Structure 1
Amino acid sequence: MDPSSEDTLDFLREHLEFCAANHKKCRPQARVFPTRLIDVRHTIRLIDRPSIHLDPPKFLYLSACWGSDFALRLTHNNEEQLKTEIMLEDLPRTVRDAIVIAKELNVPYIWVDSLCIFQDDLESWNVEVLRMKDYLRSCTFTLGVASS
């Protein structure tokens, strides 16, 4: 499926609108923003939750199996750089596609575990993993990828 094709985007728009209007369970269940998100509106960058003021939260939850080739990960060493800008060419195709979809559907943020949870901090990782179910309940929609 080509994420940038009008047919794909129209399909997604129609289904999201239908679900929001007709399926109570498809609406965000909780009002929880993740600790960190990727802002895709202008400059793609990592942001902290306190700087976000939307109710309900609008973010795409990207669920994928990353494998070993996903080199760019959030660490304490690169946090400030990721908060300044994340270069598209540094991201795997799956994340780039999710960014295209989010922008086209007017969803300002995406959540990607490897970019939004510190990968070099086990304590932080353990806290965030427990919150993932709340993030799933709060997101605008989940984009599931079978392989990446």
Structure 2
Amino acid sequence: MVRPIHVLNGPNLNLLGLREPHIYGHTTLAQIETMCRDAARGDLFFGQTNHEGQMVDWIHEARETAGGIIINPAGLSFHSVAVLDALNTFEGPKIELHISNIHARDEAHRHSLLSQAVTAVIAGLGAKGYPVAVGAMYGAMGD
């Protein structure tokens, strides 16, 4: 049986479709969730939080239930040692996902602290990066 994939979204992603559409596009988080569920071959947890502690709690819970984590940490990418430490406790595959190409952005948005704790990084594909990450996760989980 395929273990669930956990898709975790960080701060301000609840405003996708409205927030800086020139960077993040017009697709809403609800539409992205539908894209992920359509791409999934099994159970999928999809969550969004504006709180670092909630993200850490979800990663801890994933240790017991998830086959893999896809995380768009948003602003937590650039400063959260707590999320980094939590990701390091998860033994399965982890994909860091960014809607924009963070490597081509301003200095504050260019260097993700969390990349060192993940299996792979997907950046710059817009909302379409999510179903790509779901498909890639099945390969990483060996399914």
Q: Would the TM-score normalized by the shorter structure come out above 0.5?
A: no
More helix by share: 2
- Bigger radius of gyration among the two: 1
- TM-score, normalising length from structure 2? 0.30
Provide the TM-score with structure 1 as the length reference: 0.29
